[in-house]
Structure 1
Amino acid sequence: MLTRKTKYGLKALIYIAKQAKSMPVLISEIAEHENISKKFLEAILLDLKKNGIVGSRMGKGGGYYLLKDPKEIKMATIIRILDGPIALLPCVSLNFYEKCDDCPSEETCSLNKIMIQVRDNALAILEHKSLFDLSQ
């Protein structure tokens, strides 16, 4: 399940993507339009800025804007930035792998095998859907 942070992050990015390309969008405009707490949205956009998804400009005409073409921003990337692993178990995560404390062997674990399939199927969608797809 997506966290509220990721859901709001995606909604904010979709809103920004739908605006004129060269025009930064005020955080208050995004918050009001998408019904997101301004303070919570500031934290979300800061995470996205730190990870090179959005940039910001201060002062008159300032706001947030995309640093990349929306076609280059994949859903999997945003979810990983805001939520962490996509995999449901740490032992099947591609980017955040950790051995499960209670599992003697991943090779014989039937839960591991099914969770790899779940991860792979989710990634097949999330890595091929971009911000552009969401903003249409």
Structure 2
Amino acid sequence: MISNKAKYAFRALLAIAAEPQGQALTSAEISRRHAIPHKFLEQILLELKRAGILESRRGKSGGYVMLRPADTISFGEVLRLFEGPLAPLPCLSRNSYRRCEDCENEARCTIRREFAKAYDASRQVLDSRTIGDALDNPAAAPLVAEERRAS
């Protein structure tokens, strides 16, 4: 299960990416449209900015814009940013590998082998699907249009 922080990050990214290119969206507007606590959202947006995904602009037409194209930002990248390693076992993690304390033999570990299959499948989906893919989904178009009308 993902945290609210990660879920709110995805909502914010989808909202910002849905705006016409170069048009900024304020944190207050994102908060209002998506019922995200404003102070919490500001922390999330700062993390996305530090990660090089968003850019902030000051002034009358200020707010947040995409720093990178939405089709270069995978769900896996964002999820790792907010949740850390996605591996269900430490011995499966590529970036935070550590041997399980009670493991006698990784190569023969049935638990590791079975969870590796599930992890590989989910990682493949999360790393291949992008924010742009989600916006290109025709089923999502009415939701984006509805959110714009609400603003």
CA shift for structure 1 position 105: 2.5
Give, as a single letter, the amino acid of the residue that structure 2 aligns with 1:16.
Answer: I
Following superposition, the deviation at residue 18 of structure 1 comes to: 0.6
Give the deviation of 1:90 after TM superposition.
1.3
In structure 2, the partner of 1:76 is 76
Query: Any idea what SS the aligned residue of 2:85 has?
Result: coil
The percent of aligned pairs where both chains have the same amino acid is 36
What is the rounded CA distance, in whole Å, between the counterparts of 2:53 and 2:38 in structure 1? Answer: 19
Return the letter of the residue paired with 1:65: V
- Separation in 2, partners of 1:34, 1:133: 20
Deviation at 1:3, TM superposition (A): 1.1
After superposition, what is the alpha-carbon deviation per residue over 1:14-62, rounded to whole angstroms, capped at 9, x for unaligned?
0001111111110000011011001111111111111111111122211
- For 1:32, the equivalent position in structure 2 comes to 32
Partner of residue 18, structure 2: 18
How well do the aligned residues superpose, as a CA RMSD in angstroms?
Answer: 1.1
SS of aligned partner of 1:127: helix
Gaps of 5+ in 1: none
Cα distance in structure 1, aligned partners of 2:134 and 2:122: 16
**What TM-score comes out, normalization by structure 2 length?**
0.85
Cross-structure match for 1:101: 101
Q: Please say if 1:111 is aligned against 2:134.
A: no
State whether structure 2 residue 76 is matched by structure 1 residue 55: no
* Cα offset, 1:101, TM superposition: 2.1
The AA in structure 2 aligned to 1:76 is G
CA distance in 2, matches of 1:98, 1:5: 26
**1:42 matched to which residue of 2?**
42
- Asked if residue 132 in structure 1 is aligned to residue 137 in structure 2, the reply is no
> What residue in structure 1 maps to residue 123 of structure 2?
123
TM-score, structure 1 as length reference: 0.94
Work out the CA distance in 1 between the residues paired with 2:24 and 2:133.
21
Between the aligned partners of 1:20 and 1:14, the Cα distance in structure 2 is 12
User: What is the identity, as a one-letter code, of the residue corresponding to 1:37?
Assistant: P
Task: Output one character per residue of 1:47-92: Cα deviation in whole Å (capped at 9) or x when no partner.
Answer: 1111111111122211111111111111110001111111111110
